[in-house]
Chain A
Amino acid sequence: MAAEKEIWQKIGEGFVQEYYNQFDNTNRMGLANLYSPNACLTWEGSPFQGREAIANKLVSLPFKRIKHIITEQDSQPTIDSCILIMVFGQLQADEDPPMAFHQVFMLKSQNGGWSCTNDVFRLGVHNIPV
């Protein structure tokens, strides 16, 4: 079934592409523009609220270079006309070994554009006691 992609899928993919492009190829401060003013970020369990706090967190991450590779992404429309996105991929910081990560975004249509209201990030590292 090669149906035309749903609109929320196109919006989700566009956002994901823009987000990681900014993350990997700019000074990361520009990421602030993708978030709504009161957006929430949960980064490895730590909460950050507001565009400025979020941008500061992302800018302060201690590596020079980072590259994200998206393995899969899924998008859904919500009952209140937002878009829920789940991203599953790998990242590599400087010369570290690559690590898996998961990230979930909620997008809301505001002032004629889409901005991120919620963002949850986790590394896919399982320190399972053996």
Chain B
Amino acid sequence: MSDGEYDYLIKFLALGDSGVGKTSFLYQYTDGKFNNKFITTVGIDFRERRVIYNSTGPDGTTGRGQKIHLQLWDTAGQERFRSLTTAFFRDAMGFLLLFDLTNEQSFLNVRNWMSQLQIHAYCENPDVVLCGNKCDLSDQRAVSQDEARQLAEKYGITYFETSAASGQNVSEAVDVLLDLIMKRMERCVDKSWIPDGTVRANGPAGADLSDGSDRSKCAC
């Protein structure tokens, strides 16, 4: 398959405190493995995977499968050295917000990450899936499923308990996020809200997306 053969290029960004397992989570999703011995990810800031998205109509019929090229961006700990700037958030279409179920502080910081998102993401209510990671470490659990659910409900976002180690709910979380993005795209008639670079359409299926003429609507 040549690199250009996809209908949409969609960028997701994994966020959350250092050590919650963002890199392992993405690695589990793209490679189906848990890598607890990093050799190095220098220079590798994202992972990629192709998926087929089947939209379902209201009558339950399945439409033509769309070829999606998913890019999953990882902060890889750089947030310890510098604040993540608008430039970093700018190109992401959906967000995987992770915390560590065995680390209460990482859960408390979910609020901070949500406000960062509201400031820096392309819009004030971007699509976010909240993941309580490391659910395999049940004997070390410091955050209950109930309190995590309540927080997710407060923000109106989906919550999953995931394990990058066992793979539990990893694909499910990404699938739900992709579904939210595709539904959002279908909802938008003129699609002019889509930030530059977050969705790249290839071929006739999405040719209207690459037409930037809608931007002339800007009132300034």
Contact = CB atoms under 8 A, between A and B. Distances in A.
Interface of A: 43-46, 61-63, 90, 93-100, 123-127, 129-130
A63 B91 contact: no
Interface stretch (B38-46, B123-131, B152-160, B208-216): B38-46
Interface in B17-67: 18-19, 23, 38, 40-43, 45-46
Contacts of B81: 43-44, 61, 93, 123
A99 B78 CA distance: 8
Most buried by B among A45, A61, A96, A99: A96
B100 to A, nearest CB: 12
Nearest to B76: A97
Given A90-B42, A130-B71, A96 B19 contact: yes
Contacts of A95: 19
A125 B76 contact: yes
A95 B23 CA distance: 11
Contact of B82 (A44, A96, A126, A129): A44
Interface string B88-104: 10010000000000000
B77 A97 contact: yes
